[in-house]
Amino acid sequence: MQPMTPAYVLAGIFLAVALYCGIDPFHHSPLYGFPDFIPHVIDVPDWSQVPDVKDAQNQLQKSEIKFLNQVQGPESVTFDPLGRGPYAGVADGRILFWDGESWKDFAYTSSNRSELCNWKPNPASYLKNEHICGRPLGLRFYKKTGDMYIADAYFGLMKVGPEGGLATLLTNEADGVPIGFANDLDIDDEGNVYFSDTSTKYQRRNFIQLVFSGDPTGRLLKYDPVTKETTVLVSGMQFPNGVSLSKDGSFLVFTEGPIGRVRKHWLKGEKAGTTELFAILPGHPDNLRTNEKGEFWVAIHCRRNMYVYLMSRYPMFRKFMLKLPIPASYQYKTYIGGRFHAMVVKYSPEGELLQILEDDQGKVVRAVSEVDEHDGKLWMGSVLMPFIAVYDLASST
Ligand SMILES: *[C@@H]1O[C@H](CO)[C@@H](O)[C@H](O)[C@H]1NC(C)=O
């Protein structure tokens, strides 16, 4: 008999690990159940093009955490035309209204709510029933009518009157293709709604596979309230997300998450209908919002890192990593840099970076999906957090 030498033991361990990884007996790989997963190249900019800016004082750590455990996963936060609110779309599918004393149910998007939508301990645990309970993401009021417009990730573009209740569907398709993942919206003076369809292939509850595939089926859409038709303005995008009109309405800007940039789409003037680069961001964005001055606040989901850079440029490397029996949540955590990092960045209407505020250890604010400037304060919602963070602009240096 051969003695058990260290070399044999090592070879045995190696073989066992290789077999385990190859077979994935417990279906831990994020690709399990996604046989048609295709990893696409994500054309992230070279490091030399990425702005090298930092908030050395981590000013966001001075934010106040409000409504802890009263609002779960408030991606979008908004105020009505009378300045009341905030209103917040939460993980269980409701839109809540802060009346100054307590949170009240304001509206909902699903006509089929049931006990499946009841309270759960953390925002992520609602994911699997979102297609039943609804998931309101982008929220905006149309000042002329007081109606609230809602981008529901599952149902499409919806609207509810100033008194709230069950929202009605405006559109769930464009150019004959169903909207797969409505995400954010804005409304012009004539009532046209501009909104993003993040992917026609993956729903929000599979956002991890969506992010990792770099799926290029995202679209920027326009809903015309007169003809009730929805047209495609820009297609073939990877995870288009936040949408915001410029103050004068001559253009809109929208974010693209995996690439980490903002593009500008002209609506008026001689460049109408064309799209151009607005800014390359220091990280991967979510929503963006215009302030009174016409500047844009962009919420950054996470800073760029070398791992994401390589995974983006080399899709086969990405597929190899994802085939390993490492659960999606761990892979995602590594992707965003291993820890939370809150960042918001302000741009001029011309695309010049004006201000950056961070909490780079994720100590207080942790993560941001949207930032709304209102009465001299920044109201920050996050799809991952059970609170709204409020930062007083008067306290920045
Ligand atoms: C309504 O909800 C139930 C679960 O509560 C689900 O099984 C059913 O498919 C839903 N119906 C529709 C039309 O979404």
* DSSP state at residue 126: G
Mean pLDDT of the chain: 93
Handedness of CA 322, 325, 329, 331 (dihedral sign): negative
Q: Probe ligand 1: pick from 110, 115, 116, 132, max atoms within 8 Å of CB?
A: 132
Give the pLDDT confidence of 303-326 residue by residue, as tens digits. 898 989 999 999 998 888 888 888
Q: Which residue has the tokens 């303005």?
A: 233
Q: Confirm whether 363 is domain-assigned.
A: no
CB within 6 Å of ligand 1 — which residues?
112, 114, 116, 132
Q: Does a structural domain hold residue 295?
A: no
Establish if 142 belongs to a structural domain.
yes
Closest-CA residue to 167 (of 180, 154, 176): 154
Residue 263 falls within a domain, yes or no? yes
Does residue 182 belong to any structural domain of this protein? yes
What is the whole-number distance in angstroms between the Cα of residue 150 and the centre of ligand 1? 21
CA of 39 to the centre of ligand 1 (A): 32
The pLDDT of residue 284 is: 94
Distance CA 220, CA 232 (A): 6
The CATH number that applies at residue 120 is: 2.120.10.30
Is residue 185 in a domain?
Answer: yes
What separation in Å is there between the alpha carbon of 129 and the centre of ligand 1? 10
Measure the CA–CA gap between 98 and 159, rounded to whole angstroms: 19
132: CA distance to ligand 1 center in Å? 6
- For a pocket test of ligand 1, which of 110, 112, 117, 126 has the largest count of ligand atoms closer than 8 A to its C-beta? 112
- Alpha carbon nearest to ligand 1 atom 5, residue: 114
Distance 170 CA to ligand 1 centre (A): 21
Number of domains in the chain: 1
Look at residue 393 and give its three-state secondary structure: helix
Is the whole model's pTM more than 0.85, yes or no? yes
Tell me whether residue 392 is in a domain: no
The per-residue pLDDT for range 281-306, each reduced to its tens digit, is 999 999 999 999 999 999 998 889 89
The answer as to whether 135 is a domain residue is: yes
pLDDT in tens, the chain (397 residues): 556 688 887 887 777 777 777 777 767 787 877 888 899 999 999 999 999 999 999 999 999 999 999 999 999 999 999 999 999 999 999 999 999 999 999 999 999 999 999 999 888 889 999 999 999 999 999 999 999 999 999 999 999 999 999 999 999 999 999 999 999 999 999 999 999 999 999 999 998 889 889 999 999 999 999 999 999 999 999 999 999 999 999 999 999 999 999 999 999 999 999 999 999 999 999 999 999 999 999 999 888 989 899 999 999 988 888 888 888 888 888 878 888 999 999 999 999 999 999 999 999 999 999 999 999 999 999 998 999 999 999 987 6
Ligand 1, atom 11: closest residue by C-alpha: 112
Distance 139 CA to ligand 1 centre (A): 25
Range of the domain at 273: 6-45+78-277+304-338
Q: Contact, 386 vs 72, CB < 8 A?
A: yes
